[in-house]
Amino acid sequence: MNKASLYQQLKQDIRQGLWPAGAVLNQQKLSDYYQVSRIPVRDALQQLKAEALLVMAGKASLMVPPLTAAEAEELYQIRLQLEPMALRHAFPRLTFSLLGQAEDLLQQLEQDQHLSAADRGALNWQFHLILYQPSNCPHLLRLLHSLHQQVERYLGFQEISLNYANTSHQEHWQLLELLRAQQLDAAVALLKQHIQQAGELLTSHLRQQPA
Amino acid sequence: MNKASLYQQLKQDIRQGLWPAGAVLNQQKLSDYYQVSRIPVRDALQQLKAEALLVMAGKASLMVPPLTAAEAEELYQIRLQLEPMALRHAFPRLTFSLLGQAEDLLQQLEQDQHLSAADRGALNWQFHLILYQPSNCPHLLRLLHSLHQQVERYLGFQEISLNYANTSHQEHWQLLELLRAQQLDAAVALLKQHIQQAGELLTSHLRQQPA
DNA sequence: CGCTTGAAATTTGTATACAAATTAATTTAA
DNA sequence: TTAAATTAATTTGTATACAAATTTCAAGCG
């Protein structure tokens, strides 16, 4: 378990609820659990903190942040501003090859019935990423990646994940269709609607039964 | 020199050109220079890397990223999407007291003739931050803070900084005026124009004489 | 002359030990 | 009984030492 993989493992374990929202992670506990010294644990923790996947709890301890409707809404609103921008920048350099890759992902996402919520989240982001990659905007992509990772924590609930998936599949196919037909404005409009809808679904769910 | 202050010091030293664009920072060199062990150096470096104030150079070494017109443009375009959003969210909770604080900052920024480029950058961000704070969007604010820090590296050139300041002072005052008059839409429009203009000034300068 | 190969040097990653700080628990006073 | 203060426990921060990896550089080959 080296530095990079410890970071990945911790991130996954947080997503999957091993360290649930509100849990305080101290270095000793983690270094015991993962069988490494505190140094790589510190590194991983700090990186997760920088990505806001952990937050300060008190003066010096780190916590898995609670899930709140307010945060979810904020994250989706930021996505709503940035993803259309990414799509616009990428559009001129989108190739049929890329659209094909995106299509493959969609099919996989639809057909594989027994995917975990985490897997679905990852595939969903890969789909979007393929469309945004050609933007040649490294900072924007890094930022979006970070946002998606934060959002994924909210999709750990199977119920949400399923609802989410069903309503968005159709929109995903439509999006590809519009892009293939060179209908940028329509595609952007659909993307906006898609994000807004997903955000509203999630936040309304969270407000009904707070995590 | 503890962990937090080492991070601040390094960041400032990068902004001020002690470690110039393209420089490779290795832990040994820094730990010698700042008279601390490599552990806190590692921590600071990793944090700076997470904020994209340092980038990977090769497989394991970190570099002060080169300044490019393309990056500057990207950063400003992201700001252009996010800052209007922040202002809109903050608007309902903007008080005259806050507007007054912003005014004080502007005056300071105008009157103090012998401010360093770094100081001007910091004050400029503080001005914007006062207006965005009441948005109650912690993620958005964190993100904008990070973007501003990256942009500040580009304002180290006194020539740019001065030009920038002169053209933007008037817009800053106007912005406050519109906000005080509850003219949100006009204020947002002006803000957009302000950011776009500043971005274009910077990128055109960079394209003329690459850093 | 350029390219690959391999070894030496440098640099990063990790463990352990100890110092400093924070968190908790317990005592003491109002 | 509650709240403040002090002490004990835990936890984080840092230095040093060593292992693993990367980078550099020079020799060998085509």
The CA distance from B55 to A141, in Å, is: 15
Cβ count near A29 (within 10 Å): 13
What is residue B2's predicted lDDT score, i.e. its pLDDT? Answer: 74
Q: What number is the average pLDDT over the span B63-90?
A: 97
What is residue B122's predicted lDDT score, i.e. its pLDDT? Answer: 87
A162 touches strand C (CB under 7 A): no
Contact A82 B77 (CB under 8 A): no
* pTM recorded for the entire structure: 0.95
User: SS3 breakdown of chain B: % helix, strand, coil, rounded to 5?
Assistant: 75, 5, 20
Select from B82, B83, B142, B145 the residue whose CB has the most chain A CBs within 10 Å, as the one to mutate to test that interface.
B82
A138 neighbourhood in chain B, CB within 8 Å: 74
Which of B46, B81, B82 is closest, CB to CB, to A43? Answer: B46
What is residue A182's predicted lDDT score, i.e. its pLDDT? Answer: 98
| Neighbour-count burial for B6-30, b at 16+ CB within 10 Å, e otherwise | bbeebbeebbeeebeeeeebebeeb
Indicate the Cα dihedral angle A58, A59, A65, A66, nearest 10°. 10
Residue A18 DSSP class: S
Select from B7, B11, B46, B196 the residue whose CB has the most chain A CBs within 10 Å, as the one to mutate to test that interface.
B46
Examine the pLDDT at B149 and tell me if it is beyond 70: yes
Residues of chain A with confidence (pLDDT) below 50: none
B3 pLDDT tier (thresholds 50, 70, 90): confident
What is residue A157's predicted lDDT score, i.e. its pLDDT? Answer: 66
The CA distance from A1 to A35, in Å, is: 8
What is residue A15's predicted lDDT score, i.e. its pLDDT? Answer: 92
**Do A179 and A127 form a contact (C-beta atoms < 8 A)?**
no
**Do B141 and B148 form a contact (C-beta atoms < 8 A)?**
no
B110 pLDDT tier (thresholds 50, 70, 90): confident
What is residue A158's predicted lDDT score, i.e. its pLDDT? Answer: 58
Q: Nearest 5°: CA angle at A189, between A122 and B196?
A: 95
Residue A210 DSSP class: -
What is residue A110's predicted lDDT score, i.e. its pLDDT? Answer: 86
What is residue A161's predicted lDDT score, i.e. its pLDDT? Answer: 62
- β-partners of residue A166 are none
**Do B72 and B148 form a contact (C-beta atoms < 8 A)?**
no
**Average pLDDT taken over every residue of chain B:** 93
**Do A61 and A26 form a contact (C-beta atoms < 8 A)?**
yes
Residue B19 DSSP class: S
Measured CA B21 to C1' C23 distance, in angstroms: 42
Interface of B with A in 11-70 (CB under 8 A): 39, 42-43, 46-47, 50-52, 70
- β-partners of residue B56 are B62
What is residue B115's predicted lDDT score, i.e. its pLDDT? Answer: 83
Single-letter amino acid code for the residue at B2: N
Q: What number is the average pLDDT over the span B138-148?
A: 97
Interface of A with B in 145-174 (CB under 8 A): 150
Strands (E), A27-142: 55-57, 61-63
The CA distance from B46 to B44, in Å, is: 5
The CA distance from A158 to B33, in Å, is: 52
CA A154 to chain centre: 9
D chain positions with any atom within 7 Å of a protein CB: 10-17, 21-24
Single-letter amino acid code for the residue at B99: L
- Measured in residues, chain B has a length of 211
